[in-house]
Amino acid sequence: MKEDVAKVRTFALIAHGGAGKTSLAEAMLFDAGVTTRLGRVDENTSIMDYEPEEVKRKITISTAFNTLTWNKHQLTIIDTPGDFNFISETKTSMLGADAVVVLADAVDGIRVQTEKVLEFADEYNQPRMIFVSKMDRERADFLARVQDLRNSLGKQCIPVQIPIGAAESFKGVVDLLSEKAYVFDDGDSGKLAVQEMPADLADTVRKLKEELIEQVAEAKDELLEKYLEEGELSSEELVEGLRHAVITRKLVPIACGSGTANMGIQPLMDFIASNFPSPLDRGAVKGRVPDGEAELMREPDPSAPFSALVIKTISDPYAGRLSVMRIFSGSLTADANVFNATKGAKERFGQLLRLKGKSQDSIQSAGPGDIVAVAKLKETVTQDTLCAEKEPIVFPPIELPPAVYSLAVEPKSKGDEDKIFSSLTRLMEEDLTLRLERNEETREMILSGMGEIHIEATVEKLKRKFGVEVNLRLPKVSYKETIKGKTRIQGKYKKQSGGRGQYGDCTIEMESLPRGSGFQFVDKIVGGVIPKQYIPAVEKGIAEAAQEGALAGYPVIDFKVELVDGSYHTVDSSEMAFKIAGSMAFKKAVLEAKPTLLEPIMLMEIVVPDDCMGDVIGDLNSKRGRVLGMETKGTKQIIKANVPQSEVLRYAPDLRAMTAGRGMFTMGFSHFEEVPGALQEKIIEASKQEDK
C-alpha cells in the first residue's frame, strides 16, 4: 500500500574507515529490539561485520543490510565499508539508499575519503544528515566539529541536536526544536529519561535554534515570508518545514551521540523517521529503454510495474549466489517471474529474503524502498536491472574505478591452477573491481584490485569459500633483450653418424633496429646456395631462438637478420638441419652484437591535490620517472609521466601514503627502454639465481 511506502526509510551510513558506522548500526538494532545484546566490532560480536575477513581486521569489507521498526516506520540500514579499498562496494550499495547519514568523528572530524563518497551521494541527489560520532571519546568537541563541517561542507550544515557534556561526562542530547533533553543511563542499555534541558545549555540552544529556524524558513518561500513578517513560525510549520528543508537538500542537519555507549541513538532514529525521505519523497526514478536511449520513469508505487536494481551479489559455495536488490517500483512476491533487462534474460525467483546482517528472514512480499535478496539467479550480476517482463526498463550502471594494484597468484599445491581460476571467477561475481588475467610471457596469473587489503582479503576468501590456497608475489616484469651492434656470423650444423646425415649451413648479418620494430628477416640468397624450401626454416630457427636471449633468457626484439650466404648437401640437408643452423647462427650473433636489456616503461596519469605535487614529483624522480607534462584542473594537478614498470609495482599504496588517499592514477604500457648498466647486472644475476 502507498501509505506503507510513506513510512519507509532506506539510508546508507557513510564515512571514512573506523568512524563508527557499524557500531552505530549495532546500537540502532539493539535499541529497536532486533538484537538482544549490543553487538560490538571490537569484541567480534557485530552482526553487521560478520565475515571472517572483517572480523579478523575489525573493519567492514562487505556492505551489510538490516531492517528495523522505529516509531511505526521501517528503517533499512545500509552499512558500507569506509576503507578506500572497498570504495566500489560502498558506491554500488549506496545506489540502494534514498538518503545518507554521514559520520564525523567527534575528535577527528571527516576525512578525505568521506568527501569523495559524499560527492557520489550528491550525484544521486541523496539528502544527507551528519552524525557526530564518538561523543564519549576523550577530547570530543561537538561545536569545534560543527565549525569544521560548516567550513568544509557549507553553511547549510546546522545542528538539530546538541550534546550534554562530552567525553567522560557525555550524558545525552538536547533536541533543539522541542528543547527536550534525552539523558541516558550509564552503561550501554540505552535507557533514557526525557527531561528539561540543563540550564547551562540554554544560551547555546537558543542561539543555535534561532539559526536553525532561519534556515528552515529560507528553504521555503511561504515560510520565509511569514517568518519575515511575524518573526516566528508555529511548531507545526517548523516540523514540516524542517522535513522539507532536509528532503530538498537545503539543510544538512547535524546530530550527535555514541554508538558504542549507546547514547543519542534513539533521538537520531526519531529524527530519521520524521525527516528522512520516503521513496515517495524521492519520486519517480529515471531509467531508459533496454535497447535505446529513450528515458523511462518508474513511480515508487506498489501497483506500478516492478523494477529493481541489483546492488550486491554474495557468492556462497553452498547456497549459490545471493542477489541483493533495491526495489524502486511495483511489488514482488516469492516465486515471481521477472526479467533481467540488462541481459535480456528471464529469471525465476525462489524464496524472497530480507537481510538481517549475517542472517536472513524469508518474507512473502516486498515493495518500493525495500532491499531484498533472492538466491540462485542464473544470469544476474551486480548493477543489473530486474523488472516486469512486459514493462522493461534499465537503470544505467555506474562507472567503477579501475584496478590499480596487481599481484601474481600461484597455487600452494601444484595442479590447483584451474581451481584458482574458476574460484576467483566466482569471487569476481561479487566484487566488480577484481581483475584476473594470465600473462603469457611471464606465465603468471595476475590478480588486480584496489590495494593490498583488497587482494589479501580476496585471497583469504578464496581459501575460506573454496578451499584453495595461494601464494602472493609482486608480478614479474616482462623484460626484453636486444642488440646494439652489428655482426656477420656463420651457423653450420653437420652430423654424420651411421645412415643419413644432417647438413645445414647459413651465414647471417644481424643488426639492431629502432624500438618497436620487432624482428625482420631478409632473404638475400643468390644463386640458390640455399634452396628456396629451406629458407623459411632458417627464419623459424632464428625466431624460436630469439625467445630466449643470451643475457637473462628474456625474448630478443628489435633486430634485423639478413640471410646472405650458405651451402647445402643434396642428401643430408633438411628443414630441421637448416632450422638448427639458423638457431646456432643467432645464438652466436647475439653475443657478438652488443646485447642489452630492455625494460617496460609505463605511461602514468596521476591526479593529486596541489599541496602534494612536490612530494609526488620528487618520488617520481627517485623512481627513475620522467615527467612529460602537468596540467591544472581546479585544485588538482594532473601529472603525466613515463616510469619504469619495475619501480611502480607498488604505486597504489605509495601514492595513497603520499597523498593521504587523495591521489588517483591510471597506468598502461608505453614502450621499452634500455635498462641502465648497474641495474642490468642485478637483473641478470637474479635470473641466474632463478634458473638454479
Instruction: State which residue, 20 or 369, has the beta carbon closest to ligand GTP.
Output: 20
d(CA 308, CA 310): 7
Provide, rounded to whole angstroms, the least separation between the CB of residue 65 and Mg ion: 13
Provide, rounded to whole angstroms, the least separation between the CB of residue 12 and ligand GTP: 12
Instruction: State which residue, 15 or 247, has the beta carbon closest to ligand GTP.
Output: 15
Task: Answer with the entry of ligand GTP, Mg ion, none that 221 interacts with (C-beta below 5 to 8 A by kind).
Answer: none
The single-letter DSSP state of residue 645 is G
Provide, rounded to whole angstroms, the least separation between the CB of residue 138 and ligand GTP: 9
In 106-248, alpha helices (H): 112-123, 142-153, 202-218, 221-230, 235-247
d(CA 160, CA 274): 13
Is residue 624 a contact residue for Mg ion (CB under 5 A)?
A: no
Angle at 504 between CA 498 and CA 505, to 5 degrees: 135
d(CA 14, CA 20): 10
Instruction: State which residue, 84 or 672, has the beta carbon closest to ligand GTP.
Output: 84
Is residue 114 a contact residue for Mg ion (CB under 5 A)?
A: no
Q: Using CB under 5 A as the criterion, what x/- string covers residues 42-71 for binding Mg ion?
A: ------------------x-----------
Query: What are the counts of helices (DSSP H) followed by strands (DSSP E) for the chain?
Result: 18, 36
Provide, rounded to whole angstroms, the least separation between the CB of residue 198 and ligand GTP: 21
CB 607 within 8 A of CB 624: no
d(CA 39, CA 58): 13
Provide, rounded to whole angstroms, the least separation between the CB of residue 621 and ligand GTP: 35
Is residue 382 a contact residue for Mg ion (CB under 5 A)?
A: no
Return the range that interacts with Mg ion (CB under 5 A); candidates 19-27, 110-118, 269-277, 638-646: 19-27
Instruction: State which residue, 21 or 465, has the beta carbon closest to ligand GTP.
Output: 21
Closest CA to 616 of 225, 580, 625, 270: 625
470 bridge partner residues: 411
Instruction: State which residue, 89 or 539, has the beta carbon closest to ligand GTP.
Output: 89
Residues 255-274 that bind Mg ion (CB under 5 A): none
Task: Answer with the entry of ligand GTP, Mg ion, none that 88 interacts with (C-beta below 5 to 8 A by kind).
Answer: none
The single-letter DSSP state of residue 641 is E
Provide, rounded to whole angstroms, the least separation between the CB of residue 176 and ligand GTP: 21
Is residue 90 a contact residue for Mg ion (CB under 5 A)?
A: no
The single-letter DSSP state of residue 533 is G
Return the range that interacts with Mg ion (CB under 5 A); candidates 21-29, 238-246, 379-387, 413-421: 21-29
Instruction: State which residue, 19 or 78, has the beta carbon closest to ligand GTP.
Output: 19
Which of 22, 258, 307, 646 touches Mg ion (CB under 5 A)?
22
CB 279 within 8 A of CB 367: no
Instruction: State which residue, 51 or 444, has the beta carbon closest to Mg ion.
Output: 51
Which of 9, 15, 19, 21 touches Mg ion (CB under 5 A)?
21
Q: Which residues of 351-389 are buried (b: 16+ CB within 10 A; e: fewer)?
A: ebbbbbbeebeebeebbbbbbbbbbebeebbbbbbbbbe
Cell of 188: 550501554
Which residues have C-beta within 8 Å of that of residue 464, sequence separation ≥ 6? 52, 53
d(CA 28, CA 554): 60
Cell of 476: 614479474
Instruction: State which residue, 54 or 281, has the beta carbon closest to ligand GTP.
Output: 54
Burial group, residue 7, by CB count within 10 angstroms (0-12, 13-18, 19+): middle
Return the range that interacts with Mg ion (CB under 5 A); candidates 17-25, 126-134, 169-177, 474-482: 17-25
Task: Answer with the entry of ligand GTP, Mg ion, none that 260 interacts with (C-beta below 5 to 8 A by kind).
Answer: ligand GTP
Provide, rounded to whole angstroms, the least separation between the CB of residue 28 and ligand GTP: 12
Residues counted in the chain: 692
Provide, rounded to whole angstroms, the least separation between the CB of residue 682 and ligand GTP: 40
Closest CA to 427 of 384, 475, 400, 466: 466
Is residue 16 a contact residue for Mg ion (CB under 5 A)?
A: no
Instruction: State which residue, 18 or 504, has the beta carbon closest to ligand GTP.
Output: 18
- Alpha carbon 107 to chain centroid, angstroms: 27
Provide, rounded to whole angstroms, the least separation between the CB of residue 665 and ligand GTP: 23
Instruction: State which residue, 46 or 507, has the beta carbon closest to ligand GTP.
Output: 46
Query: Can you tell me which residue has the cell 654424420?
Result: 496
Provide, rounded to whole angstroms, the least separation between the CB of residue 681 and Mg ion: 49
- Applying CB under 6 A, the residues found at the interface with ligand GTP are 15, 17-23, 41-42, 59-60, 81-83, 133-134, 136-137, 258-261
Cell of 391: 514493462
CB 480 within 8 A of CB 556: yes
| Site residues for Mg ion per CB under 5 A | 21-22, 60
